[in-house]
Amino acid sequence: MAIREIDCLFEACPIPILKAMKELKTMNPGDILVLHSDHSCVGISIEEWGQKNNYSVQVVEVEDGEWEVYIEKPKEK
């Protein structure tokens, strides 16, 4: 399992989710992507996207107004 991080601070939707989707394509099942954002809508959008696409998503507010979004690429069946 690998962990990768992408910095999406100061970037509004839909840029962070597009960057996440691009990065996840290069990752292996079970890998985790940590996306850093300062827009609350990013976490909401990625949670909705994750539910539709079977990705495990967890949003954590690490500081006032800054979030880390953890996205796990689903394992293959």
| Superfamily grouping for domain 3-72 | TusA-like domain (3.30.110.40)
- What digits encode the pLDDT tens for the residues 18-71? 999 999 999 999 999 999 999 989 999 999 999 999 999 999 999 999 999 999
Q: What are the residue ranges spanned by the domains of the chain?
A: 3-72
How many angstroms separate the CA atoms of 26 and 30, rounded?
A: 12
Reduce the secondary structure of 44-76 to three states and give it as a string: HHHHHHHHHHCCEEEEEEEECCEEEEEEECCCC
Q: Is the pTM of this model over 0.85?
A: yes
Six-digit token string for 9: 């601070």
Q: Tokens 């939707």 identify what position? A: 13
Six-digit token string for 6: 């992408």
Among residues 74, 75, 11, 21, which one has the least CA distance to residue 46?
21
